[in-house]
Structure 1
Amino acid sequence: MTTDVNSLDTVRLAAYLESVIAGFQGPLTAEKFTGGQSNPTFLLKARSGEYVLRRQPSGSLLKGAHAVDREYRVLDALRDTGVPVAHAYHLCEAPEVIGSMFYVMSFVQGRIFWDPALPELPSEQRAPLYSEMIRVLATLHDVDVNAVGLGDYGRPGNYFERQVGMWTKQYRAAETETIAAMETLIVWLQANLPAADDQLSLVHGDYRLDNLIFHPAEARVLAVLDWELSTLGHPLADLAYFCMCLRLPSVGHISGLANKNREQLGIPTEAELVAQYCALRGIGTIANWPFYLAFSFFRLAAILQGVLKRSVDGNASSDKAAQVGKMAGHLAQLAVALFENDR
């Protein structure tokens, strides 16, 4: 058994997978994907084909974090809904197999883009990709959660009130120093929570460009990846998070379009993307849009603070974790600017 997040006991793993996945045949090799800060992910190459394994990192984990079992449940529930996802083969909750909980899914071959400016594509191909991303997001939010067995996937009550409280606790648990902008942001969010409404859907929680696999030649999403943060909640949280990612600076580990000429690039404006989403879902104008954006910055800052804490504790799955984690303060400053500039 191995407890190293960068390696797997492939002999033991192959024997186990042969016993639980129909048609699986070893031997196998495992190669860790680069990138990502949360759950270590491996490409498995076996005699029966290629698969992907996602595991929890080893070491002490924050309560509720690295929920690979929730990822597996969502993938399995969405397989026939029109939301493009990988095929979920098996969830192993017994840590003795490889040292932590893990699941295995199909390997989806396609394109993954990391830069939202899409420099590898001609300008006329960029808008269709963005339109497809919004279409898939609207499709996700229209899924009948009760019909697919996810009616109990989240807790009842005001989603944003619960989320602000939960991520504040997660941030405090991972806090390594006092960040003034985060303190300001936490107070503002608590004081400006929107009233509860009847909008409830499955939300992805980390819906962004590099969590999507596109068809090799078409503007079509083949699979939405990384469902660790998914839950039942308010669909505008996903939409605002997607738009928040586009507002980030174009330099850094998580890049955006803040200082890019969208018209020149052929990429739709935020207003156009929001309008497309609202039209697809049949909803009107969105009130209090700055709150949803500020909340998105806050939550991502809290997540990155957790990345930094794991780096400090020696449990990070990437050697860039410390650098990425230090972005938390900058994200909080961008969020504070949203409402301070609106005064």
Structure 2
Amino acid sequence: MAYVLRKKPPGRLLSRAVHQIEREYQVLSALQNTDVPVPKTYCLCEDDDILGTPFYVMQFLDGRIFTDSTMPGVSPAERTALWRDAVHVLGKIHTIQAQSVGLQKFGKQGGYYDRQLATFTTLSRVQAKVEDPLTRAPVGELPHLPEMVEFFSRQDLRPRDRHAIVHGDYKIDNLIFHPTEPRVIGVLDWEMATIGHPLSYICNLTHPYFWSGLDQDVAGFRSGKIMGLLSRAQCVQWYAEAAGWDPEPDLWWGDAFFAFRTTVILQSVAARHVQRQTSSPDSAKFASKVKPSAEDAWELVRKAKARTKRGRLSVRL
């Protein structure tokens, strides 16, 4: 049997919200006996003297990981089935009651977007001041940050508050699919999991349909030229069937917040890159995407503003 060891990176972290290995172990362990497919967990070590930072050991899952959300190399029918199961698993996660799996203290009930906005605004401002130790050049503030924060702070424009167990970064490349069958056998990368608003994660999963900030090939999602990639509306319908609520009226707001949040995460990659804290060969590329991503996020905020003025977002109850 093969195993996987997951550990925190060395060095001082800019935010406690990332690389939460202990939290990841907790939620994976809690979901072991549910309908959500996750790898088996074995042990958690919080003693820094062993490997330098906390770590845990989990089961290795032998399956397929698609780094390209268009899933090249599969038939149209299988592509549809793979996406459908990915969406259904997300809906299953959002139906689990936290208290039923021992996660009643995993996060606050409600107020998710207030906390997210405060966290990512503060994080962005801290990251903006990070300097390259050689050139002393700062990462720099995100374009339109004050205007975006002002919009997301408007309580009267927000979607109705909801709460559920949320993954933190649910997307196709964080899923392991069965080697030959069109089904998810493992959901990975739970380090940012919490109790939050489920809207964020249907937007996260379906972001290739509306946002190109990560330099992905999104043309197939928008034009329908890739057989088996159905419309976003179909994905939302699958989700509504599995989760028991329809997020469609709130997607414009959720999409804009997704883009803002993801841009701040890209900025964190840039901050770690200038501090030489990342080993990823793609870190420089992602760092270069920060400002274009912020412009894309601002455009989605502008569209959401226009929608709210026309009363197209759902009214908070």
**TM-score in terms of structure 1 length:** 0.80
Match for residue 313 of structure 1 among 269, 275, 296: 275
Aligned in 2, Cα 1:212/1:246: closer, same or farther, shift over 3 Å?
A: farther
Which fold has the larger relative contact order, with Cα–Cα distance below 8 Å and residues 6 or more apart in sequence?
Answer: 2
Q: Deviations over 1:32-79 (max 9, x none)?
A: xxxxxxxxxxxxxxxxx3111111111111231210000000110000
Amino acid at match of 1:249: S
1:170 to partner: Cα distance = 1.4
**Separation in 2 of the partners of 1:259 and 1:181?**
29
Match of 1:290 in 2: 252
Q: Which piece of structure 1 moves more, 242-251 or 332-341?
A: 242-251
Alignment of 1:1-80 (within 5 A): 49-64=1-16, 65-80=18-33
Match of 2:182 in 1: 219
Amino acid at match of 1:212: L
Match of 2:265 in 1: 303
Match of 1:262 in 2: 224
**Separation in 2 of the partners of 1:251 and 1:232?**
26
1:212 to partner: Cα distance = 0.4
1:340 to partner: Cα distance = 2.3
Paired residues of 2:213 and 2:293 also in contact (CA < 8 A): no
RMSD value over aligned CA atoms? Answer: 1.9
Match of 1:26 in 2: none
**Separation in 1 of the partners of 2:269 and 2:232?**
28
Amino acid at match of 2:269: V
Aligned in 2, Cα 1:117/1:286: closer, same or farther, shift over 3 Å?
A: closer
Match of 2:91 in 1: 138
Aligned in 2, Cα 1:196/1:273: closer, same or farther, shift over 3 Å?
A: closer
Is 1:82 paired with 2:46? no
Match of 1:29 in 2: none
Q: Deviations over 1:199-234 (max 9, x none)?
A: 211000111111000000000101000001110011
1:195 to partner: Cα distance = 5.5
Is 1:128 paired with 2:128? no
Q: Deviations over 1:143-168 (max 9, x none)?
A: 12101011111124411111111111
**Separation in 2 of the partners of 1:87 and 1:219?**
21
Paired residues of 1:182 and 1:329 also in contact (CA < 8 A): no
Aligned in 2, Cα 1:315/1:121: closer, same or farther, shift over 3 Å?
A: same
Is 1:102 paired with 2:63? no
Match of 2:295 in 1: 333
**TM-score in terms of structure 2 length:** 0.86
Paired residues of 2:266 and 2:287 also in contact (CA < 8 A): yes
Match of 2:70 in 1: 117
How many pairs align? 292
Aligned in 2, Cα 1:125/1:103: closer, same or farther, shift over 3 Å?
A: same
1:299 to partner: Cα distance = 1.0
Match for residue 169 of structure 1 among 109, 122, 146: 122
**Separation in 2 of the partners of 1:99 and 1:236?**
37
Alignment of 1:138-217 (within 5 A): 138-175=91-128, 176-191=139-154, 194=158, 197=161, 199-217=162-180
Counterpart secondary structure, 2:100: coil
Paired residues of 1:145 and 1:151 also in contact (CA < 8 A): yes
**Separation in 2 of the partners of 1:74 and 1:103?**
12
Paired residues of 1:159 and 1:196 also in contact (CA < 8 A): no
1:169 to partner: Cα distance = 1.1
Structure 1 unaligned spans of 5+: 1-48
Identity among equivalent positions (%) equals: 34
**Separation in 1 of the partners of 2:228 and 2:276?**
42
Is 1:244 paired with 2:207? yes
Q: Deviations over 1:92-128 (max 9, x none)?
A: 1111111111111010000001111112112221111
